[in-house]
Amino acid sequence: MIPVQGYTGARVGVLGLGRSGLSAARALKEGGAVPVCWDDNDAARAKAEAEGFETAKLTGATLKDLALLITSPGIPHLYPTPNPVIKEALQMGVPVDNDISLFFRSFATSEWDNLDVTPRVVAVTGSNGKSTTSALIHHVLEHTGRATQLAGNIGRGVLDIDPAIDGEVVVLELSSYQTDLARALTPDIAVFTNLSPDHLDRHHGMGGYFAAKRRLFSEGGPERAIIGVDEDEGLYLAGQMAEGPQDDRVIRVSVERKLTDFGWTVFAKKGFLSEYRKGRQIGSIDLRAIKGLPGSHNHQNACCAYAVCRTLGLAPRVIEAGFASYPGLPHRSQIVAEAGGVTYVNDSKATNVDSAVKALGAFKKIRWICGGLEKEGGVSALSDAASEVLKAYVIGREASGFAMQLAGVETEVCTSMEVAVARAMEDAGEGETVLLAPAAASFDQYDSFEKRGDHFADLVKAGLG
């Protein structure tokens, strides 16, 4: 645990008692603060009370008495409308913050003066690929024997990790919900993978969404910024961070074009990763045979992870060996079975159109299971990416409407995962891939994308006997 510094004896409100909220309460208490907790859910409050925490409705005099209000990332603080507790706190002048900020304020301690190598923090954000990028960095570091912890939006909560040891690297995956509110953001290395439409209601459009991601760089002032420049927003961000094209504090990343005219770049073309510095190639990796990193979207993740590891001083061949043993993350282009010449892939994390497009581009001869709770903007753009789709098997409560948007794609309305998997397995032949890449949220039929992916995997394994 990372004890929170700076609030000894102070009353600090904690709004929302899920994973991050309870973690923050524990870390505040460990640091000498007095947490005052609230959640509208009776069971969540009961759990906090069972741990000895004070619970009280955060309003009026109780709220005014707080030195700080910590809120969970899922609670809106501005758009689409502010949570009433947060709005009242702001009206009273009570600072509002989150656990990510508490981590950055509290991670470094006076004990670091006795360490030979200062610990470092790598923070990864973006629309797609941030989980894989974070996990891949962590895996490569583990492969080399370097002390490392993985936390944030993946792995453990940021305040649940252990105090740093000599030379340790903490890798954080941070969502826009987490970066948007944090008052302190000070990573040593910051990564921006890409940007595509997502969470637009929460951020009041693409501009607000990008602004939330950009705060990791503009507020944090990282020593090195690793930025995907295949979208206009990344291109702009790299331009804002660099003093000129040869400024190697910014590492530009691409999977769409060669980048040879800058101080430091990493790009991938046709499955080959290349590292250039000041116009000269100094490293390369053939990514095509790495089963845990299929497709150009994973090649972008590999480029970002490679750039981080090079910044941390690892040699290209060492990084390549770490990549080769990377098993991939569950629900992200995860191969769950191979039988009869058919490959079964679980990409349930493809919850938006852009991530599904990337999944469709990673495989050939696809039997595609898709559908679910549509996000803003519809799914018609998927048709242009479906050249390798032999047939789509559509699930979800609105499966018929989803299927109608897939112009030019043979579809079968299955509604349930059971029917979709059974029909795809019946139809699939040698050399084909049965791919779950929903391009939609799971909440019409499942509690989470993880449960959706697990259901798919269980049905495949049961069908194969």
pLDDT digits (tens, 9 = 90+) for 295-324: 888 999 999 999 999 999 999 999 999 999
pLDDT at 197: 82
Query: Rounded to an integer, what is the distance from CA 171 to the centroid of its chain?
Result: 12
128 is known to lie in a ligand binding site: yes
Distance CA 364, CA 352 (A): 20
Distance CA 245, CA 242 (A): 7
pLDDT at 45 over 90: yes
408 is known to lie in a ligand binding site: no
Judging by beta carbons within 10 Å of its beta carbon (0-12, 13-18, 19+), is residue 19 exposed, middle or buried? middle
pLDDT at 220: 81
396 is known to lie in a ligand binding site: no
132 is known to lie in a ligand binding site: yes
Among 145-154, 181-190, 290-299, 400-409, the least confident range: 290-299
pLDDT at 381: 84
Which domains are seen in the chain, by residue range?
11-97 (3.40.50.720), 110-324 (3.40.1190.10), 334-464 (3.90.190.20)
Q: Give 387's pLDDT tier (boundaries 50, 70, 90).
A: very high
Q: Give 327's pLDDT tier (boundaries 50, 70, 90).
A: confident
153 is known to lie in a ligand binding site: no
In this prediction the pTM is 0.88
Judging by beta carbons within 10 Å of its beta carbon (0-12, 13-18, 19+), is residue 401 exposed, middle or buried? middle
pLDDT at 355: 87
pLDDT digits (tens, 9 = 90+) for 69-105: 999 999 999 999 999 999 999 999 999 999 999 999 9
pLDDT at 329: 87
Q: Give 240's pLDDT tier (boundaries 50, 70, 90).
A: very high
Q: Give 282's pLDDT tier (boundaries 50, 70, 90).
A: very high
pLDDT at 376: 74
Judging by beta carbons within 10 Å of its beta carbon (0-12, 13-18, 19+), is residue 447 exposed, middle or buried? exposed
pLDDT at 301: 96
110 is known to lie in a ligand binding site: no
Q: Give 291's pLDDT tier (boundaries 50, 70, 90).
A: confident
- Cβ-proximal residues to 221 (8 Å cutoff; 6+ apart), any chain: 186
pLDDT at 225: 98
Q: Are 249 and 266 in contact (CB under 8 A)?
A: no
Distance CA 64, CA 442 (A): 39
55 is known to lie in a ligand binding site: no
pLDDT at 287: 96
Q: Give 359's pLDDT tier (boundaries 50, 70, 90).
A: very high
pLDDT digits (tens, 9 = 90+) for 425-437: 999 999 999 999 9
Average pLDDT over residues 124-143: 96
